[in-house]
Amino acid sequence: MRKLALNDEILLEIESPARYIGGEVNSVMKDKAAVDIRFCMCFPDVYEIGMSHLGIQILYHLFNQREDVWCERVYSPWTDLDAIMRKENIPLFALESQEPVKNFDFLGITIQYEMCYTNILQILDLAQIPLRASQRGEEFPIVIGGGPCAYNPEPLAPFFDLFYIGEGETVYDQLLDTYKANRQAHGTKADFLRKAAQIPGIYVPSLYKETYNENGTLASFSPIEEGVPEKIQKQVVVDMTHSFYPKTLVVPFIKATQDRVTLEIQRGCIRGCRFCQAGMIYRPTREKDVERLKECARELILATGHEEISLTSLSSSDYSQLEELVNYLIDEFKSRGVNISLPSLRIDAFALDVMSKVQDIRKSSLTFAPEAGSQRLRDVINKGLTEETILQGARDAFLGGWNKVKLYFMLGLPTETEDDMKGIAHLAEKIAMEYYDTVPKEKRNGKVQITVSTSFFVPKPFTPFQWAAMYSKEDFLGKAKVVKEEIRAQLNQKSIRYNWHEADVTILEGFLARGDRKAADVIETAYRKGALYDAWSETFHWEIWMDAFKETGVDLDFYTLRERSTDELLPWDFIDAGVTKEFLKKEWKRAISEEMTPNCRMKCSGCGAGRYKGGVCVESKN
Amino acid sequence: MKVRIKFAKLGAMKFIGHLDTMRYFQKAIRRADIPIAYSEGFSPHMIMSFAAPLGVGTTSSGEYFDMQLAQDMPTREIVERLNGTMAEGMDVLSAVRVEDGKASKAMSLVAAADYRVTFREGKEFTSDWKEKLKEYISQPQICVFKKTKRSEKTVDIKPYIYQFAIQGDKIHLQLAAASSNYTKPEQVMDGFAQWLGIEQKPFSYMVHRQEVYADNGNEENHQFVTLESLGEEVE
Ligand code: SF4
């Protein structure tokens, strides 16, 4: 049997010991003597969250297809084990072999959200790997980052040897081959990094240098030597249907946040909402063939034994073969106790029909994401959802027996006025009235229950709002107060519940999302002062971060409250994410003048992603 | 057809709790493509029931659950299919067909269980623990604290210790395991430490459950038979 890195005494003392024992069904064991490369893949959050992430499962099985590579996994130890590992000097270990991560060739970290940045430092620290790449000798693994946050890697730049910009499936083979060749040629780490910098999509931060203007903005950003590319071009999988998809998924012993088979039906989104980073960086929209998806569904249910299958994509309703796929899944699996879960469906007749088949109407709720309270502001953000569509959807759903509605909005969007905020309350009220107007008393299944949730808007790189200003904590909370009071003033206020996201986490997220290399000092200082698991409200401490800003002399407001000029050199400008800066500028202007831009299927707006010659850009358009 | 599965939970699997073990087998049954029966209703679930939950930290080579099949299948094939998809440390030991009906439910049948307790190296309560333990067990009454959800009381567990033996460094216990008199090996061991008047080191001993029994006799004259022996292999 495998020998565990932690002894029984420790495992029985901590919460959920199964997080650390590995050995899950479909996890991959190999003979370490028979492989050339040991790769450790990391999701820097607790096991249950990390195991729910599809991207890691894809890469894990992709890498392990190679006979010369053994890819293993590691997640953030929870705070209880963290304390024990520090006290007893136990190095962080990979789940499969239970061997120290520091002895691996690669440590790959997927960076999905900004609030995990301190967890990345925890991973390095517990692995007994120096935090900064510049302090790491030949004996340490190559630390590589990828994922959506890598589109502005600068706040994390000093901690990583490499970043991978784009979709992981495409050039990892080349990277691993380059590594092997370099080792065979007795090359150093520096030699390898220089060669890796030539691979499309690979960014080697140590080969670039930035300078700043007196006012703190970026003055220049360029390679430090000849031959290093000035721009890093994001890599995409052009043919989704024939791209790698695992035939099996690792099945955790304990319940993961998403304990199910996930089918990725398409990548990207045709809509072009101006606040949405995913909608921009995953362009162009590429669909996967429905027959291929059916095959994956059958294979994966059999290989995992999961009792739920979930479709994943942005705006699933835009998938052209959705109806066929969903009906197939229901026919094939419903009688075998497998649930079908369908997130992000636009509420229409088809959606209601499907939902009534796959979930219990009495328990389920309708979800709308108007994002903004008024039509004017919805035009600004290019969210093509009208009030009439929402009310129509609600009306149909109420007649079908639903009485729970969830509404999602953002506060603090560019150009927002008090009317826009109050519009949130008015929309909720109109939906409530719709219920009492359409459903006769005797048919009502109790009161209508409307839940309004607002988050505060965070401008993200590579969106038309990347130049926008954020608000202060007080302003944000003031906005939530406006909404709250307006809801209280409505006739049906008793049917409307309101909750809002915390403001301080949002501000920090905004700082990390658009920060430059100077942000790294703040992150490291905050980490050293105890910041960890910042994405969890019970472990997030605003004061620690405030101390860190004070100590490093970095001005938080400079990064969050300032509207950037479109002429300014932005820290992520060296990345070519497909969409051009010209397109983003045009969209920013159109936003301010409340002009909508049609989606990719209606009309191509020449965003720049057409260069990849794939997906929606090459579909025949009338 | 109703099938009783006997399985072992060894090594690292002792860290998987009871609920997760149930979920683990539900998935395993689907992977093995066993034709299990589902309940009626909006969200159908597999018809299965587990006997005697095992606490986290305890290994076992005598765990049981029953499941209802929608179609018959040779018991040997069930074992093979399930073992084709087990994680290391989980092993299906046997499958037997048992009578249908409520009265034969694995859970309600459980009357006794065998345990093997061993001290971790260097964590023996005393150097002469063998003599002391014999002395402790041979008392006419063995009173231990029992904490329930509602109260804390002293109970005499002596009548519930059906067998006791020491073999080499191993302590063998057969203890009552019905819901009315369920006695944990930990109660015996912790009671022993208290009786010795010592503060035991954390995790001093390991517990392994070896078998679970039904009672074919009565209160006065127990006739313990393994749950497995109540069924038969079928082709
Ligand atoms: S190039 Fe045109 S069709 Fe392609 S993603 Fe951009 S806007 Fe859409």
- How is chain B split into domains, by residue range? 2-109, 112-226
* pLDDT at residue number A502: 87
The better pLDDT of the pair A619, B156 is held by B156
Which tokens hold the place of A207?
A: 């080969």
Bridge pairing between strands A162-164 and A106-110: unpaired
Alpha helices in chain B (DSSP H): 18-31, 75-83, 106-109, 129-137, 185-196
Q: Among candidates A94, A81, A89, A82, which has minimal Cα distance to A30?
A: A94
Q: What is the mean pLDDT of residues A512-526?
A: 97
Q: How far apart are CA A464 and CA A591, in angstroms?
A: 8
Which tokens hold the place of A514?
A: 């658009």
The SS3 call for residue A257 is coil
- With vertex at residue B82, the alpha carbon angle to CA A15 and CA A246, rounded to the nearest 5 degrees, is 70
Q: Among candidates A174, A209, A165, which has minimal Cα distance to A192?
A: A174
Is the domain B2-109 a CATH 3.40.50.10790 member?
no
Alpha helices in A381-417 (DSSP H): 387-399
pLDDT digits (tens, 9 = 90+) for A130-152: 999 999 999 999 999 999 999 99
Atom of ligand 1 nearest to the CA of A607: 6
The answer to whether the CB of A563 falls within 8 A of the CB of A211 is: no
- Name the CA dihedral angle for A527, A258, A366, A499, rounded to a multiple of 10 degrees: -20
Q: Choose the mutation target among B10, B13, B25, B30 for the interface with A, i.e. most A CBs under 10 Å.
A: B30
Q: How far apart are CA B123 and CA B127, in angstroms?
A: 10
Task: Mark yes or no for CB contact A255/B15 under 8 Å.
Answer: no
**Which residue's alpha carbon is at the smallest distance from atom 8 of ligand 1?**
A600
Residues in chain A within 8 Å Cβ distance of B24: 253
pLDDT digits (tens, 9 = 90+) for A240-249: 888 888 999 9
Atom of ligand 1 nearest to the CA of A284: 5
Chain A residues touching chain B at CB-CB below 8 Å: 1-2, 4, 8-9, 11-13, 17-18, 21, 23-25, 251, 253-255, 301-307, 335-339, 360
The answer to whether the CB of A421 falls within 8 A of the CB of A476 is: no
The SS3 call for residue A413 is coil
Q: How far is the CA of A603 from the centre of ligand 1 (A)?
A: 8
- Ligand 1 contacts CB of residue A392 (under 6 A): no
Residues in chain B within 8 Å Cβ distance of A12: 15, 56-57, 203
Residues in chain B within 8 Å Cβ distance of A254: 16, 20
Q: How far is the CA of A537 from the centre of ligand 1 (A)?
A: 38
**Which residue's alpha carbon is at the smallest distance from atom 1 of ligand 1?**
A610
| B12 and chain A in contact, CB less than 8 A | yes
- Ligand 1 contacts CB of residue A604 (under 6 A): yes
Q: What is the mean pLDDT of residues A285-289?
A: 92
How far is residue B6 from each of residues A25, B9, B16, B100, B107, measured CA to CA in Å?
20, 10, 17, 17, 13
Per-residue burial over A435-459, b if 16 or more Cβ lie within 10 Å, else e, is bbeebeeeeeeeebbbbbebbbbbb
| Distance of residue A39 Cα from the nearest chain B Cα, in angstroms | 23
- How is chain A split into domains, by residue range? 8-233, 239-359+578-622
Bridge pairing between strands A339-341 and B110-119: unpaired
Bridge partners, A410 (sequence order)? A455
pLDDT digits (tens, 9 = 90+) for A535-589: 988 899 999 999 999 999 999 999 999 999 999 999 999 999 999 999 999 999 9
pLDDT digits (tens, 9 = 90+) for A155-182: 999 999 999 999 877 889 999 999 999 9
- Ligand 1 contacts CB of residue A610 (under 6 A): yes
Q: What is the mean pLDDT of chain A?
A: 93
The better pLDDT of the pair A355, A287 is held by A287
Q: Among candidates A225, A196, A221, A201, which has minimal Cα distance to A211?
A: A221
Cβ neighbours, 10 Å, residue A350: 14
Q: DSSP letter at B67? A: E
Identify the closest residue of chain A to B46 by CA–CA distance: A337
How far is residue A328 from each of residues A105, A264, A353, A355, measured CA to CA in Å?
43, 16, 14, 14
Q: What is the mean pLDDT of residues A12-24?
A: 95
Q: Spell out the residues 6+ positions from residue B207 whose beta carbon is closer than 8 angstroms to its own.
A: B57, B58, B59, B115, B116, B117, B185, B186
Task: Mark yes or no for CB contact B12/A9 under 8 Å.
Answer: no
Per-residue burial over A519-541, b if 16 or more Cβ lie within 10 Å, else e, is bbbbbbbbbeeebbbbbeeeebb
Residues in chain A within 8 Å Cβ distance of B11: 1-2
pTM of the model: 0.93
Task: Mark yes or no for CB contact B203/A18 under 8 Å.
Answer: no
Bridge pairing between strands A339-341 and A366-371: unpaired
Which tokens hold the place of A127?
A: 């692995």
Q: What is the mean pLDDT of residues A514-539?
A: 95
The SS3 call for residue A129 is coil
Identify the closest residue of chain B to A22 by CA–CA distance: B12
* pLDDT at residue number A622: 42
Identify the closest residue of chain A to B58 by CA–CA distance: A12
Cβ neighbours, 10 Å, residue B24: 23
- Ligand 1 contacts CB of residue A280 (under 6 A): no
Task: Mark yes or no for CB contact B31/A305 under 8 Å.
Answer: yes
| Distance of residue A303 Cα from the nearest chain B Cα, in angstroms | 6
Task: Mark yes or no for CB contact A12/B11 under 8 Å.
Answer: no
Residues in chain A within 8 Å Cβ distance of B202: 9, 13
The better pLDDT of the pair A320, B61 is held by B61
Q: How far apart are CA A601 and CA A88, in angstroms?
A: 58
Task: Work out the burial of residue B196: count CB atoms within 10 Å of its CB; fewer than 13 is exposed, 13-18 middle, 19 or more buried.
Answer: middle
Q: What is the mean pLDDT of residues A72-78?
A: 98
Is the domain A239-359+578-622 a CATH 3.40.640.10 member?
no
Residues in chain B within 8 Å Cβ distance of A93: none
* pLDDT at residue number B16: 96
Task: Work out the burial of residue A226: count CB atoms within 10 Å of its CB; fewer than 13 is exposed, 13-18 middle, 19 or more buried.
Answer: exposed
- Ligand 1 contacts CB of residue A600 (under 6 A): yes
Q: DSSP letter at B232? A: B
Task: Work out the burial of residue A558: count CB atoms within 10 Å of its CB; fewer than 13 is exposed, 13-18 middle, 19 or more buried.
Answer: middle
Q: Spell out the residues 6+ positions from residue A478 whose beta carbon is closer than 8 angstroms to its own.
A: none
End-to-end CA distance of chain A: 62
Q: How far apart are CA A76 and CA A556, in angstroms?
A: 27
The answer to whether the CB of B212 falls within 8 A of the CB of B227 is: yes
The answer to whether the CB of B86 falls within 8 A of the CB of B24 is: no
Task: Mark yes or no for CB contact A307/B26 under 8 Å.
Answer: yes
| Distance of residue B39 Cα from the nearest chain A Cα, in angstroms | 9
| B55 and chain A in contact, CB less than 8 A | no
* pLDDT at residue number A620: 63
Q: Which helix (H) or strand (E) holds A299?
A: helix A290-304
Q: Among candidates A37, A47, A298, which has minimal Cα distance to A172?
A: A37
Q: How far apart are CA A411 and CA A275, in angstroms?
A: 12
Beta strands in A251-331 (DSSP E): 261-264, 266-267, 286-287, 308-312
Q: Among candidates A577, A586, A585, A587, which has minimal Cα distance to A608?
A: A577
Q: Choose the mutation target among B14, B15, B82 for the interface with A, i.e. most A CBs under 10 Å.
A: B15
Identify the closest residue of chain B to A252 by CA–CA distance: B24
Q: Spell out the residues 6+ positions from residue A246 whose beta carbon is closer than 8 angstroms to its own.
A: A57, A58, A60, A61, A62, A300
Task: Mark yes or no for CB contact B30/A2 under 8 Å.
Answer: no
How many residue contacts between A and B have a Cβ separation below 8 Å? 82
Q: Among candidates A108, A110, A90, which has minimal Cα distance to A98?
A: A90
Show pLDDT as tens, one digit a residue, over chain B (235 residues).
999 999 999 999 999 999 999 999 999 999 999 999 998 877 788 999 998 889 899 999 999 999 999 999 999 999 999 999 999 999 999 999 998 876 567 778 899 999 999 999 889 999 999 999 999 999 999 988 777 777 778 889 999 999 999 999 999 999 999 988 899 999 999 999 999 999 888 889 999 999 999 998 888 889 999 999 998 899 8
* pLDDT at residue number A124: 98
pLDDT digits (tens, 9 = 90+) for A456-476: 999 999 999 999 999 999 999
What is the third-level CATH fold of A8-233?
Answer: Rossmann fold (3.40.50)
Atom of ligand 1 nearest to the CA of A283: 5
- Ligand 1 contacts CB of residue A293 (under 6 A): no
Name the amino acid, one letter, at A405. Answer: V
Q: How far apart are CA A601 and CA A218, in angstroms?
A: 37
Nearest to B203 among A9, A255, A303 (CB): A9
End-to-end CA distance of chain B: 12
Nearest to A12 among B10, B57, B89 (CB): B57
* pLDDT at residue number A162: 97
| Distance of residue A563 Cα from the nearest chain B Cα, in angstroms | 51
Helices A117-126, A79-88: crossing angle, 10 deg rounding: 30
Place of tokens 């609030």: A115
